[in-house]
A and B are shown apart, each in its own frame.
Chain A
């Protein structure tokens, strides 16, 4: 009788879960281990829904570095997101697109994306899988349609083979394309810096770095919070409005006057290499950024309350304090990540 029940339960299991199991059953496509650092929060990205696999990652990487995602065939994701600079468009204030078109925002670094709940400077993309629609279709970026990209991919045997092995249904369709890009991007975990080593007790800060960390904890960490160095909120940090772009920030997404001039608090990991800074790349050095907080804050609508202490605007910092803060920020660079061959184009 027991055997009978067991057999039936097995049948029940098989009958209803074949879809879930088939990921594992593809023998030539291994699931990759997600490199979850011990002290990081639980990923927001649903890794069970779209588990990174060897072939999915390979496909995502090929897509990431393929200029065919743009209308002119030359602007790939990797064109503006360069690995050595934490996947930013190094030294470019705003991103450059097809035919030399200029965007109005600075390319954001790509790292630890599995932990973020919304994407882009204003949170326009509610899910990583949907984010890439924006750069692919924006006129000033890749200026292409998703349908056209898929048509181009379908002409390529290498892509056909990769889609076939990376996904159950093997189809070249938008969902699989975006999932492959996400698989490549969520694996970009950066958590191997001097800061992390100090946190784990495997390194110690010198005097200046330690002083910088203490300052950071009191003056910066309410927004640049925790191990991700962002609370993922949208705030107006007192930048003077730039007439060239007339960028209203988060208001574009919500339509709310209260969100005007608010932008996503960026992570500060790899900050030393991801210049220039701010949503429009207006500052070239960390010193300029700190000078802004010290004496450049302008009282525009919705200025963050943390930028107004009594009658004073901004965050008062001495020159020595700025040096100490920069020493601390320099400990957030993860060279292993910036040079990791898994993510590099060649």
Chain B
């Protein structure tokens, strides 16, 4: 009888405290390193000239995005969610340190899928620690002060008009539009090759193929709209493209 009640109570404890208790394994700190690439090279701000699918020549002066709501999922579906309050990170191409994020006390398991958000989830907006991300966002000009919201993805630079030599500037500032348009996207990366097996790895490498910002799912020609901010037609397209930039790499 005692054993049964202990078992029942254990079950209650397990179900009542959330996914954290699915994992009794040891824990360790895990780093995720983001590398923003064009072709095989890491993005070189300002000095390099690139060409997109539409044969537009451009350079990038600023490249930043917000990563949030990180989750590790096992093959059987068991999910470890990193504490929401600490789950907001800013990746800034200009700042090397920002491109490696450290997650503390992750259960050591053989995970198969890594899930994260680009931007800030609207359902929790702006509670659960979201406001505490303000100083970081402010410092990196990722806060839309007039709308009390975050810029999820920011890319700025110059481009050359076809056949011309004049340099025109372009900028993409993508975020949600109040409560009316949600541009938050979830990225899911899976690996069969044990890249997310934390018994073997302390470092997870993620590559962002920055050229795909222009054509991953939707074709975006810079010259069609060099300034995409509060734009109910183009901002969701860029957001969709951005959500498809990422892949796990092994090197």
Contacts and interface: CB of A to CB of B under 8 A. Distances in A.
B146 A134 contact: yes
Interface string B12-44: 110011000000000000000000000000000
Given A175-B132, A253-B180, A130 B148 contact: yes
Interface in B138-180: 138-139, 143, 145-149, 177-180
Interface of A: 1, 4-5, 8-9, 11-12, 15-16, 46, 49, 118, 123-127, 129-131, 133-134, 137-138, 145-147, 150, 173-175, 178, 252-256
B126 A12 contact: no
Given A134-B146, A147-B139, 17 more contacts: A12-B12, A15-B13, A124-B146, A124-B178, A127-B125, A130-B131, A134-B145, A137-B138, A146-B138, A173-B132, A174-B134, A253-B177, A253-B180, A254-B177, A254-B180, A255-B177, A255-B229
Contact of B126 (A130, A134, A254): A130
The list of the 9 closest CB pairs from A to B, nearest first, reads A137-B145, A255-B230, A130-B148, A147-B135, A125-B148, A124-B147, A175-B131, A133-B148, A130-B126
B235 interface: yes
Nearest to B147: A124
A170 to B, nearest CB: 14
Contacts of A256: 180, 232
B135 A133 contact: no
A148 B147 CA distance: 19
Contacts of B149: 124, 126, 130
A131 B149 CA distance: 9
B48 interface: no
Contacts of B178: 118, 123-126, 253-254
B5 A4 contact: yes
A4 B2 CA distance: 9
Contacts of A252: 146-147, 230
Interface in B102-148: 122, 125-127, 129-132, 134-135, 138-139, 143, 145-148
Nearest to A50: B127
Nearest to B180: A254
Residue from B127, B138, B148 having most chain A Cβ neighbours under 10 A: B148
Contact of A174 (B16, B131, B181, B235): B131
Given A178-B131, A255-B232, A133 B17 contact: no
Interface residues of B, number: 35
B56 interface: no
Nearest to A126: B179
A178 B134 CA distance: 11
Contact of B143 (A16, A118, A124, A137): A137
A12 B134 contact: no
Contacts of B71: none
A129 B177 contact: no
Contacts of A138: 145-146
Contacts of B180: 253-254, 256
A12 B135 CA distance: 37
Contacts of A123: 178-179
B5 A147 contact: no
Given A8-B9, A15-B13, A127 B127 contact: yes
Contacts of A254: 177-178, 180-181, 230, 232
Contact of B17 (A5, A16, A129, A137): A16
Contacts of A146: 134-135, 138
B45 to A, nearest CB: 24
A234 to B, nearest CB: 10
A8 B9 CA distance: 7
A145 B135 CA distance: 8
B17 A253 contact: no
Interface string B201-231: 0000000000000000000000000000111
A130 B130 CA distance: 10
Contacts of B16: 12, 15-16
29 contacts: A4-B5, A9-B12, A12-B9, A12-B13, A46-B127, A118-B178, A125-B178, A127-B127, A129-B127, A130-B126, A130-B148, A131-B148, A133-B145, A138-B146, A146-B134, A146-B135, A146-B138, A147-B134, A173-B131, A173-B132, A174-B134, A174-B135, A175-B131, A178-B131, A252-B147, A254-B181, A254-B232, A255-B229, A256-B232
B126 A129 contact: yes
A175 B129 CA distance: 7
A150 B135 contact: yes
For A11, A49, A127, the residue with the greatest tally of chain B CB atoms inside 10 Å of its CB is A127
A255 B148 contact: no
Contacts of B130: 175
Contacts of A178: 131
A124 B232 contact: no
A267 B139 CA distance: 36
Contacts of A16: 13, 16-17
A1 B135 contact: no
Nearest to A256: B232
A133 B135 CA distance: 11
